[in-house]
């Protein structure tokens, strides 16, 4: 996209503040092989519920009403295909039909479009269906031009977790292995839903802090059942856990690999030496201890 993308859309995200290097390193500011004029050769569209600092960088800013992204994306899919939409119902989303038609025309006319969607889309009412709408729109635009969609990830290396789960189990998250083979069902096997229903009787937390972000019933279940945390520092989750194993900080005192948002693996070289074992080390030792115990029991 650095070399080719001439239409960049950010939807429900604020890259100027949340991903400050995104503009300059990958998208609008770069001069690319087929975009010799850099910023002048690209159009940036920002869709959000409020005018964030990212709006200053945008050529077109579209302000939707909160929770109306699914409606806008669905209407956009219809407009792209030349189908009829109800102008009054479109106006209810905060955008006019003219704005939607203009955006649809830009999308169809570009040579290579990219739709980045942030947590303003994936974490509001409709959740996975909002993401599905963004992905379907991008997929359908390939009938006219080259178009891709990519999520703007929040925390460090969440992409890495998805990638590893995908190549080991074929599914990125929400996987259950209790029957000996992977089963995928978000809503049934995804972490928050399991914890809220209280379906698990123990939790191992690896490089995450659910105690800071998850809803109250989930946190209550974490504190009432055995929870084991592997983390370099004290977190909300480690405070309510039964066991907290301090591990080395990856990239500081431990080597490792992080995955960039576009799934490029980047190796990390630790500059310091620390006293703590790595996450991998701890997990391996736990597994070996469990195998020994199973062996003795047998």
Partner 1 sequence: MPTLTLREPPTVPLEAETITPDVTAGLTLDAVRALPVYHGKRKLTVGDFFTVAGEPGESIELHGDLTRVKWLGKGMTRGAIHIHGHVGMHLGAYLAGGRIDVTGNAGDWVGGEMSGGMIHVRGNVGGQVGAAYRGSASGMSGGTILVEGNAGIELGMRMKKGLIAVKGKVRDFAGLQMKGGTLVLMSGAELRTGAWMQRGTIVSLAPLRLLPTFAATCTYSPTFLRVYARHLAVHGFTLPLAGYTRYAGDSSAFGKGELLVYTTPQ
Q: Tell whether residue 188 is a contact of partner 1 (CB under 8 A).
A: yes
What's the residue count for the chain? 298
Which sign does the torsion angle of CA 86, 91, 93, 99 carry? positive
Instruction: List the structure tokens of 231.
Output: 């983390």
CA angle 26, 155, 245 (to 5 degrees): 140
Q: Tell whether residue 103 is a contact of partner 1 (CB under 8 A).
A: no
Q: Tell whether residue 48 is a contact of partner 1 (CB under 8 A).
A: no
Q: Tell whether residue 70 is a contact of partner 1 (CB under 8 A).
A: yes
Dihedral of the CA atoms 2, 79, 86, 12 (nearest 10)? Answer: -10
91-98 contacts at long range (C-beta below 8 A, 24 or more positions apart): 92/65, 92/68, 93/64, 93/65, 93/68, 94/63, 94/64, 94/65, 94/68, 95/62, 95/63, 95/64
Cβ-based nearer residue to partner 1, 39 or 166: 166
Q: Tell whether residue 179 is a contact of partner 1 (CB under 8 A).
A: yes
Please select the residue that binds partner 1; options are 24, 200, 223, 224, rule is CB under 8 A.
Answer: 200
Residue 166 CB, nearest distance to partner 1 (Å)?
14
Residue 92 CB, nearest distance to partner 1 (Å)?
8
State how far the Cα of 235 lies from the Cα of 248, in Å rounded to an integer.
15
Q: How many residues bind partner 1 (CB under 8 A)?
A: 31
Please select the residue that binds partner 1; options are 21, 33, 36, 201, rule is CB under 8 A.
Answer: 201
Q: Tell whether residue 195 is a contact of partner 1 (CB under 8 A).
A: no
Q: Tell whether residue 126 is a contact of partner 1 (CB under 8 A).
A: yes
Please select the residue that binds partner 1; options are 37, 178, 297, 298, rule is CB under 8 A.
Answer: 178
Of the listed pieces 76-84, 148-156, 204-212, 273-281, which binds partner 1 according to CB under 8 A? 76-84
Which residue, 243, 223, 217, is CA-closest to 231? 243
Residue 155 CB, nearest distance to partner 1 (Å)?
25
Please select the residue that binds partner 1; options are 60, 85, 135, 228, rule is CB under 8 A.
Answer: 85
Beta strand extents in the chain (DSSP E only):
7-11, 43-48, 60-63, 112-117, 146-151, 175-176, 183-184, 203-206, 227-231, 243-246, 256-259, 265-268
Residue 144 CB, nearest distance to partner 1 (Å)?
15
Cβ-based nearer residue to partner 1, 59 or 102: 102
Cross-strand partners of 61:
46
Please select the residue that binds partner 1; options are 61, 144, 173, 184, rule is CB under 8 A.
Answer: 184
Instruction: List the structure tokens of 15.
Output: 């890259």
State how far the Cα of 140 lies from the Cα of 232, in Å rounded to an integer.
44
Please select the residue that binds partner 1; options are 17, 51, 98, 199, rule is CB under 8 A.
Answer: 199
Structural contact between residues 76 and 110, judged by C-beta atoms closer than 8 angstroms: no
Q: Tell whether residue 93 is a contact of partner 1 (CB under 8 A).
A: yes
- What are the residues binding partner 1 (CB under 8 A)? 70-71, 74-75, 77-78, 81, 83-87, 89-90, 92-93, 125-126, 129, 177-180, 184-188, 199-201
């Amino acid at each position: 996209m650095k070399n080719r993308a001439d239409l960049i859309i950010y939807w429900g995200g604020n890259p100027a503040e949340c991903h400050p290097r995104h503009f300059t390193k990958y998208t609008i500011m770069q001069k690319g092989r087929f975009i010799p004029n850099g910023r002048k050769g690209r159009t940036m569209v920002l869709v959000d519920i409020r005018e964030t600092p990212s709006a200053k960088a945008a050529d077109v800013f579209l302000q939707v009403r909160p929770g109306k992204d699914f409606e806008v994306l669905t209407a956009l899919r219809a407009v792209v295909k030349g189908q009829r939409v109800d102008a009054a119902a479109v106006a209810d989303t905060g955008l006019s039909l003219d704005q939607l038609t203009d955006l649809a025309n830009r999308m169809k006319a570009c040579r290579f479009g990219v739709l980045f969607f942030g947590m303003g889309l994936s974490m509001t009412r409709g959740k996975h269906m909002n993401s599905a709408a963004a992905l379907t729109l991008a997929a359908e635009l390939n009938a006219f031009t080259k178009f891709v969609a990519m999520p703007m990830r929040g925390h460090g290396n969440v992409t890495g977790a998805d990638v590893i789960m995908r190549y080991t189990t074929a599914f990125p998250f929400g996987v259950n292995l209790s029957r000996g083979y992977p089963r995928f069902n978000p809503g049934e096997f995804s972490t928050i839903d399991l914890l809220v229903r209280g379906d698990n009787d123990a939790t191992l937390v690896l490089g995450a802090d659910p105690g800071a972000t998850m809803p109250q019933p989930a946190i209550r279940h974490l504190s009432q059942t055995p929870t084991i945390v592997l983390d370099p520092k004290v977190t909300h989750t480690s405070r309510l856990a039964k066991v907290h194993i301090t591990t080395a900080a990856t990239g500081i005192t431990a080597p490792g690999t992080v995955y960039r948002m576009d799934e490029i693996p980047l190796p990390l070289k630790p500059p310091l030496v620390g006293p703590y074992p790595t996450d991998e080390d701890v997990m391996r030792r736990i597994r070996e201890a469990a195998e020994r115990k199973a062996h003795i029991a047998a």
